[in-house]
Amino acid sequence: MKQFIAALPKVELHLHIEGTLEPELMFALAERNGIKLPYADVAALRAAYDFHNLQSFLDLYYQGAAVLQTEQDFFDLTWAYLSRCQAQHVVHTELFFDPQTHLSRGIEMGTVIRGISRALDQAQTQWGISSCLILCFLRHLSQEDALATLEAALPYLDKIQGVGLDSSELGNPPSKFSEVFARASALGLKAVAHAGEEGPASYIWEALDQLKVCRIDHGVRSVDDPRLIARLAEEQIPLTVCPLSNTRLKVFDKMADHNLLQLLDQDVCVTVNSDDPAYFGGYLQENFEALARDLKASREQLRQLALNGVQASWLPVSRKKTLIAEILMLP
Ligand code: HPA
Ligand SMILES: [Zn+2]
């Protein structure tokens, strides 16, 4: 099964670039930038990756991101992730970045976007890996802060295809950001939002109806609402599900409890993604492998998940057709 997964052309739709910062690179960048990390070494840092919910992860994730300072740092971070894509046959990726995490430390928007996009362009040229970039608003901050962030991104709109919503979900419903999502839509940007990871199914309704998103990130709590499941299936609204993330953050106690196959059985367009692979124990290949191993997902179910990833992406129809044909041709 590992070989089958490795041979599948894979698409990733839920990936935080700051969440690909491996401990080794974190230490290297800390040294390069003269920053002292509160851990003795890589092993001590890894040992701290023992999360009990989303917030306990976010605290470390924002702390780690502080080593990213220069355009070259953002390039190196993104290039390391794209090298993993190349190694794992990920042929297209739509990745998030969290500018507010960096702007609040005095880093300029252009530094972040230029570093990331230079790596994305190079991966396209060198390896044929295509990509889209999604600017995420931090939902624990205000809508005014999100509006100012979007304003700061205006000079770089040619490098951004969509907006997203992430960070602490509980108590920060999508409706808090209606205005900034309307503004983004008027600028021609697509929209997605994290909803129903720890938050209730009602947040998924809000993301769809008030933010007008075209995909839901996570969305696993949709199973609590049969009417919502019916809508997701009827309208084929994709869910970007992240199996290893969900077990590491205790959304599910163990992989065997994950509802991904249940969602797939109900005709929801479920996709597989790695979220923050440096923190959660694996990239896209390892997420697919976990489904095969712990959920006993069949070859045909894995194939369907890969096809859903292509369908749910923002790729042009012609490229979708080519990838779908390749996935269907695999024995
Ligand atoms: O899984 C996540 N949920 C919310 N915010 C995040 N920021 C990085 N990863 C996540
Ligand atoms: Zn996420």
Q: Where do the domains of the chain lie? A: 2-329
Q: What is the mean pLDDT of residues 231-239?
A: 98
pTM: 0.98
pLDDT at 152: 98
pLDDT tens digit sequence for 277-327: 999 999 999 999 999 999 999 999 999 999 999 999 999 999 999 999 999
- When pLDDT is cut at 50, 70 and 90, the band that residue 229 belongs to is very high
The protein residue whose alpha carbon is closest to atom 7 in ligand 1 is 167
pLDDT tens for 11-20 read 999 999 999 9
Q: Is 14 in the pocket of ligand 1 (CB under 6 A)?
A: no
ipTM: 0.96
197 is catalytic: yes
* Closest ligand, as measured to the CA of 51: 1
Average pLDDT over residues 26-44: 97
Tell me the pLDDT of the chain averaged across its residues.
98
pLDDT (0 to 100) of residue 86:
98
What pLDDT does residue 207 have? 98
What torsion do the CA atoms of 239, 242, 243, 249 make, to the nearest 10 degrees?
-120
Which residue minimizes the CA distance to atom 1 of ligand 1?
Answer: 275
Mean pLDDT, range 147-168, rounded to an integer: 98
Ligand 1 pocket member 23 (CB < 6 A): no
**Which residue among the candidates 197, 198, 206, 289 is catalytic per the annotation?**
197
Transcribe 233-289 into DSSP letters: HHTT--EEE-HHHHHHTTSSSSGGG--HHHHHHTT--EEE--BSHHHHT--HHHHHH
- Specify the residue with its C-alpha closest to ligand 1, atom 4: 167
| 267 assigned ligand-binding residue | no
The reply, when asked if residue 16 is annotated as ligand binding, is yes
Where do the H-state alpha helices sit in 42-162?
42-47, 54-65, 71-87, 99-103, 109-127, 143-153
Domain topology for 2-329: TIM Barrel (3.20.20)
Nearest one of 41, 106, 96, 13 to 68, comparing CA atoms? 106
pLDDT at residue 110, rounded to an integer: 98
